[in-house]
Amino acid sequence: MPELENVHKDQILTNISVQYRNADYVGTELMPIVPVKKKSDIYYIYDSKADRFRIPNTLRAPKTESRTVDWKVTEDGYNCDEHALNDLIDDIERDNADKPLNLEVDTVEFLTDILQLGLEMRIKDILEASLSANAPGIKWDVYTDGSNPIGDIETGKDAIHKVIFKEPNVLLLGKAVYDKLKHHPTILDRIKYVQKGVVTPDLMASVFEVEKVIVGKAGYNTAKEGKAEVLSYLWGKNAILAYVEPRPGIKKFSLGYTFQSQIFQTRRARIELKHSDWFEVGSIQDEKIVAVACGYRISPAIT
């Protein structure tokens, strides 16, 4: 009988490979993308809340003029920055790549994923910098009578509503926070007669009375390049309530926007001196808080 090494030579499998991909990115659900034509521009802000919600004296005596009231606008603006990364594919690499490798597709996907991770981090950072942290009375992973996530969320909803007079409609939970809330006694008690008590984001949204609960599951490597990886969840222990305008437009407000003057695009060029094809992926945008009163952050929500 022939030896095994003489009857089979290892080959590259064409029906399986291993590639790590991050979880879905959710930052633009709190700060939606708004396409813009220019890299920078100005938008108007109508009135202040104080003027808009003040009730003037409207009584007019006979043969007198009615009272004059005035409205004003102020200005703010955005200034987009370009974020881009590139990689090279050498002719030798291309000529010797075995299936199922597709060097061009794999390269573009790799660059795009890293750029999207960077966008997610920038949105998370600007939200943390703009929204003060409000700690719950008792952390949500302490399952005692005093731990009250529903009450804590109600406090946040009230804090937003009393200054914008609209109900927050989105609640973002870091994955670690969501995983603990799924097992919280007060949550389970609210849904115990539904779907055998299995908690989902949709059910949690109904418990908290918001339109949508989104779970921030993306992770990142916190270690410096060349060091052993240290993996962490990007959204950490945050719970962020927000009013997010479903259809951004004129005379509307929302927590924030991602002003984007160039969507993610791929550029390709030949660099003959390096015997390589050059690929670059990039976008031009500015992530900006436009109405900070539309947000409320609970952090750290768990221990």
Lowest-pLDDT range, 1-15, 79-93, 105-119, 196-210?
1-15
Which residue carries 């947000």 as its tokens? 295
CA distance 175 to 181: 10
Distances in Å between the Cα of 79 and the Cα atoms of 43, 57, 257 are 12, 41, 12
CA distance 138 to 149: 9
CATH superfamily name and code, 36-54+68-298: phage-related protein like domain (3.90.1690.10)
What is the predicted pLDDT for the residue at 175?
Answer: 98
Query: Per residue in 126-150, pLDDT tens?
Result: 999 999 999 999 999 999 889 999 9
Amino acid occupying residue 240: I
Q: How many CB atoms lie within 10 A of CB 37?
A: 6
pTM for the predicted model, two decimal places: 0.90
Q: What is the mean pLDDT of residues 50-64?
A: 87
Q: Strand 33-35 relative to strand 276-289: parallel, antiparallel, unpaired? A: unpaired
What is the predicted pLDDT for the residue at 20?
Answer: 56
Domain ranges of the chain: 36-54+68-298
Q: What is the mean pLDDT of residues 44-51?
A: 78
What is the predicted pLDDT for the residue at 22?
Answer: 79
CA distance 206 to 199: 11
DSSP 195: G
Backbone φ/ψ region at 44: left (φ over 0), alpha (ψ -120 to 50), beta: beta
Q: How confident is the model at residue 3 (pLDDT cuts 50, 70, 90)?
A: low
Query: Per residue in 247-301, pLDDT tens?
Result: 999 889 999 999 999 999 999 999 999 999 999 999 999 999 999 999 999 999 9
What is the predicted pLDDT for the residue at 196?
Answer: 61
Residue 64 above 70 pLDDT? yes
The DSSP secondary structure of 168-209, one letter per residue, reads --EEEEEHHHHHHHTT-HHHHHHTTTSGGG---HHHHHHHHT
Residue 11 above 70 pLDDT? no
User: Where would I find the beta strands (DSSP E) of the chain?
Assistant: 33-35, 40-46, 73-79, 81-90, 133-134, 170-174, 212-216, 219-221, 231-233, 239-242, 256-271, 276-289, 295-298
Residue 50 above 90 pLDDT? no
Residue 85 above 80 pLDDT? yes
